[in-house]
Chain A
Amino acid sequence: MLNYLVKRLVGLIPVLFGVSFLVFLMVQLAPGDVTTLLLGPLASEEAKATLRQALGLDLPIVVQYIKWLNALLHGDFGTSIATSRGVLELVLPRIGNTLILGGASLVITVVVGFAVGLAAAANRGSLFDRLSVSTVLVIGNIPPFWLGLVLSLLFALQFRWFPISGMTSLNNGGGFSDVIWHLVLPAVTTAAAPAAVVTRMVRAAVLEVLRQDYIQVARARGVPEQTILLKHALRNALPPITTIVGLQLGYLLGGTLFSEVVFAWPGLGQLLYTSIVARDLPVIQAAVLAIALSFVLINLAADLTNQMLDPRSSHG
């Protein structure tokens, strides 16, 4: 286990360098001139050249990258062009908000995926099974932004059960229950498609295990069906399922951006979106970097969970 952890951590180093270089390069590819952006279209060529030199933009690209990375490692993420505030103070509070939304969506994904998938597999061929299979097929293809709008139309505008946007109420807001109340619609929106995929996989994996000889033997020995299902089938179906859940995390994290935009949830995705609209390159850079870092860490956690559930998988 420890060996595996060390191996994974060492393997991450080149990936992290690559990620930072890619994020750095991305901004270099942005059309338009930074000096024009900062000084305005009327600035003289001389002033632009001076600024270019002051910002180090005349240096070779690798040198610029190293300087940029060095600044990052010292906590200097630059200044937002749009708001003139430090990038770090804009990004940091957003990370937690996105993790709340992502975490809640993950819980919904896993709970719904397991419950429905297991129930469908246990009652294979039943009306419930067939209904859930077709429902899952449809839900897996619904774009999150559209689902968010439909849900807010129904449950916020029509029935007024949930707030239409934001994370807290203006009056007496901010308590635990208030945040949960605001969380329901965006979390369901984010979780829908991944939950559909997980349901499908749980059902398939459990059916696969139920077909094995040892299950037949257990049945023949008179082990109750419930024990077979929960103890044997689910336990042995877990490793492939956790792999799928891990793969869905990327889709889930991508989905949070749309939920955040539709429901004005103040997370990283919304920050990324507003800074794209404002062409605020330093904030875009930091937000993308923060998302990639979170994703790398989440994947690491998923792999470690897998490793604990199925030690054989370490050789993959």
Chain B
Amino acid sequence: MADPSIWIGPPGGDPSTPLPMRTTVTHRRPLSALRRNRLMLSALIVLLLIVLLTVLAPILPIHDPFDADPLQHNAPIGTSAYPLGTDNQGRDILSRLLWGGRISLLVGVAPTVLATVVSLLLGTLAGYFGSLLDQIIMRVLDVFFAFPLVLLAIAIAGILNPGIPTEMLAITIVLVPYISRLARTSTAQVAGLPYVEAARASGAGTAAILARYVLPNAVPPVLVYATTLVGLMIVVGSGLSFLGLGVQPPAADWGAMVGDGAVVLRKAAHVTILPGLMIVVTALAFNIIGDGLRDVLDPRG
């Protein structure tokens, strides 16, 4: 859609200012380019901070995430030695948030990466070779589109043995149809272009054509789309853990921590609220970055 680099209208989108000439690209997105860039930068900083803190969790001077203090159950925020309080079993919430963040981020990012690789393969096969193979792949994917994404993930994770690998497998499976469809469209667009025909006519091998002409054009939109999906997948993954289908106790990601806290919602709301806030902030940061990337890399939207 709007490419910030060629936006020449007034920043801020003052309604009283007449729109620029219709021949220019106007910003269709909710936020102006300038504010969007600043927003994207803040999102990036917040995300880097979260990633850094969770990665460094093992060497930071914090409690062990599994150490239960028998004298401090559901301690409130600001308790000495427990800056963010403790949970129902007396475990340090700060420590559990950082250790849990490692799992939440892994479950959001890894399946998206894996699904992107599988989808590029499937989408390229369908889009480039077309005909029968295309028909078979797309009809099979149609079946997956008949399920609401979240429910399919829950059903898959619910039938297999619960755990982090199951959770990641379930999310990967539900993502593949969506990313594959885009990969196929991008591939098919390029595959029919004259310069690809020319390369074929001049005797270039299929592998060379795919590597040199097709993939470079198909990959960027797929990557941008995948980036916008990471935030949602963190939410979906935390949902699976909340239901007890993902990571198993005593380990917990943010979703499982929300589930643990629900039992003591009335007397210690912070046990539930804090991990939820982490999910919202992280997913939001990923979404802002994804939107920004889409504007920069894929002006056509």
Interface residues of A (CB under 8 A from B): 14-16, 18-19, 21-22, 26-27, 29-31, 123-126, 133, 136-138, 140-146, 149-150, 152-153, 157, 200, 203-204, 207-208, 211, 213, 249-251, 253-255, 257-258, 261-262, 269, 272-273, 276-277, 281, 284, 288, 291-292, 295-296
Q: How far is the CB of B196 from chain A (nearest CB, A)?
A: 25
Question: Are B151 and A257 closer than 8 Å at their CB atoms?
Answer: yes
8 A Cβ contacts from B140-198 to A: 140, 142-144, 146-151, 154-156, 158-161
Q: How far is the CB of A214 from chain B (nearest CB, A)?
A: 12
Binds A, one of B24-32, B80-88, B115-123, B201-209: B24-32
Q: How many residues of B contact A (CB 8 A)?
A: 54
User: Please, how many angstroms separate the alpha-carbon atoms of A256 and B206 in the complex?
Assistant: 47
Closest 10 CB pairs of A and B: A254-B150, A18-B143, A276-B158, A146-B276, A250-B148, A141-B283, A133-B30, A125-B15, A253-B148, A141-B284
Question: Are B147 and A291 closer than 8 Å at their CB atoms?
Answer: yes
Question: Are B13 and A250 closer than 8 Å at their CB atoms?
Answer: no
Judged by a CB distance under 8 angstroms, whether B78 is at the interface is no
Per-residue CB contact flags for chain B residues 230-254 toward chain A (1 = under 8 Å, else 0) read 0100010011001111000000000
Q: How far is the CB of A309 from chain B (nearest CB, A)?
A: 22
Q: How far is the CB of A38 from chain B (nearest CB, A)?
A: 17
A152 in contact with B265 given A123-B15, A254-B151 (CB within 8 Å):
yes
Residue in contact with A276 in the complex, picked from B15, B144, B245, B269, CB distance below 8 Å: B245
Question: Are B258 and A145 closer than 8 Å at their CB atoms?
Answer: yes
Question: Are B140 and A18 closer than 8 Å at their CB atoms?
Answer: yes
Listed A/B pairs (20) with beta-carbon separation below 8 Å: A14-B142, A15-B146, A124-B13, A137-B287, A141-B284, A142-B276, A143-B235, A143-B283, A145-B242, A146-B280, A149-B258, A150-B276, A153-B269, A250-B150, A251-B149, A253-B148, A258-B242, A262-B262, A276-B158, A288-B151
Q: Tell me which residues across on chain A come within 8 A of B160, comparing CB atoms.
A: 29-31
Residue in contact with B150 in the complex, picked from A22, A133, A255, A284, CB distance below 8 Å: A255
Main secondary structure of the interface of B (DSSP, over half): helix
Interface residues of B (CB under 8 A from A): 12-15, 19, 22, 26, 28-31, 139-140, 142-144, 146-151, 154-156, 158-161, 231, 235, 238-239, 242-245, 255, 258-259, 261-262, 265-266, 269, 272-273, 276, 279-280, 283-284, 287-288
Q: Tell me which residues across on chain A come within 8 A of B143, comparing CB atoms.
A: 15, 18-19, 21-22
Question: Are B161 and A292 closer than 8 Å at their CB atoms?
Answer: no
Q: How far is the CB of A279 from chain B (nearest CB, A)?
A: 9
Q: Tell me which residues across on chain B come within 8 A of A276, comparing CB atoms.
A: 154, 158-159, 243, 245
